[in-house]
Amino acid sequence: GTQTSMRECGSAFAPSNIALCKYWGKRDAALNLPVNSSLSISLGDLGTRTEIRPSDADAVYLNGEPVALDDAFAVRTLAFLDLFRSEFGNASFVVRTENNIPTAAGLASSASGFAALVLALADLGGWGLGGRMLSMLARLGSGSASRSLFEGFVQWYMGTCPDGSDSFAEPVSKPWPEFRIGILELSSARKPVGSRDGMNRTVETSELYKNWPAQATADLETIRGALFARDFQTLGKTAERNALSMHATMMAAWPPLIYLQPETIEQIHKVQRVRADGLEVYLTIDAGPNIKLLFLEDNEQAVASAFPGLQTINPFG
Ligand code: 2P0
């Protein structure tokens, strides 16, 4: 039901995001409706730029290289575009996607990809849609993409409607210019199980998952409060515990889902050690082996020397 006035080409950028309170588990797989609300921080100018133009035949390019149409990336992109073809006279599309985050860091996820794709479609069609609607459209591609529509701290409201009309993201809180994220790339080993299957397996088989919705709800409120109060210690502690609790639910699934590698465990212990020595640094981990560190500008040098090879991101820079 969107009003379309087509241009030759649409293009847009969307940032990657890292959740401080994680999305894990769906109540509706077709609409990507989550079991719990989540809260993330967007990564500024790190993310995906996408260009889309109508054409006689579908074609997909990733970082300048053509992608086979039966490749998982192309299949998922084109399936998503199927939702919108009727808005464009049943067109085929040429889609060019550029990620400026190394794919191996586990950050060039579907989040920035589907957010940029929705924004590029909106640009192509001249849709005058607001952020909530665009967020819901991006959610249909990937849950976490609903959060990549916005800069800074973002909350994705789980919603309660079966049709998903109240499950969208919105910015929360003002910028926190001193906030830093450090990426510790530990292993480029391919994920054994993708997020989608991992979530479903956890929901279906993990006894520990029964406590997850209540914990995520409480953690989200604590993190929101800490954001408004600029209470970094409470934010960091809650985000770290939330991530490790998510991993506990995964490990209690069957077959067990263990995304953590030996290097991951080693660095988790190291974060605990340097924190005990007085350095205010916390961690979060997604569905993979890499660690993201959370710290403030004042400690940037100290954290960088404690963790060689760290890639530091200033989300408000
Ligand atoms: C998050 N993750 O909140 C959580 C934490 C991974 C661990 O959102 O099935 O790619 O496309 O909705 O969004 C990754 O899941 O999954 C994710 P789909 P998505 O960032």
Minimum CA distance residue for ligand 1 atom 20? 19
Tokens of 151: 């800069």
Mean of pLDDT over the chain:
95
Residue 173 Cα to ligand 1 midpoint, Å, equals 22
Between the two ends of the chain, the Cα-to-Cα distance in Å is 37
Residue 142 Cα to ligand 1 midpoint, Å, equals 7
Task: Report the candidate in 141, 148, 140, 126 with the shortest Cα–Cα distance to residue 73.
Answer: 141
Minimum CA distance residue for ligand 1 atom 11? 142
Residue 99 Cα to ligand 1 midpoint, Å, equals 18
Q: Positive or negative CA dihedral for 182, 184, 188, 193?
A: negative
Q: What's the gap between Cα 72 and its chain centre?
A: 18
Non-local (6+) Cβ contacts of 281 within 8 A are 236, 271, 274, 275, 293, 294, 295, 299, 303, 306
- Is residue 105 pLDDT above 60, yes or no? no
Report the atom number in ligand 1 closest to the C-alpha of 286.
Answer: 7
pLDDT band at 101 (very low <50, low <70, confident <90, very high): confident
pLDDT in tens, 127-173: 999 999 999 999 999 999 999 999 999 999 999 999 999 999 999 98
Report the atom number in ligand 1 closest to the C-alpha of 199.
Answer: 9
Between helices 131-141 and 72-82, what is the axis angle to 10°? Answer: 140
Report the atom number in ligand 1 closest to the C-alpha of 38.
Answer: 3
19 Cβ below 6 A of ligand 1 = yes
82 sits in which H/E element? helix 72-82
Report the atom number in ligand 1 closest to the C-alpha of 29.
Answer: 9
pLDDT band at 1 (very low <50, low <70, confident <90, very high): very low
Q: How large is the ipTM?
A: 0.98
22 Cβ below 6 A of ligand 1 = yes
Contact 230/223 with Cβ under 8 angstroms? Answer: no
pLDDT in tens, 241-266: 999 999 999 999 999 999 999 999 99
The DSSP string of 28-78 is ETTTTEESS-EEEEEEEEEEEEEEEEEESS-EEEETTEEE-TTSHHHHHHH
50 Cβ below 6 A of ligand 1 = no
What is the reported pTM? Answer: 0.96
Minimum CA distance residue for ligand 1 atom 8? 144
287 Cβ below 6 A of ligand 1 = yes
Place of tokens 């039966």: 70
Residue 135 Cα to ligand 1 midpoint, Å, equals 15
Minimum CA distance residue for ligand 1 atom 14? 195
d(CA 105, CA 97): 17
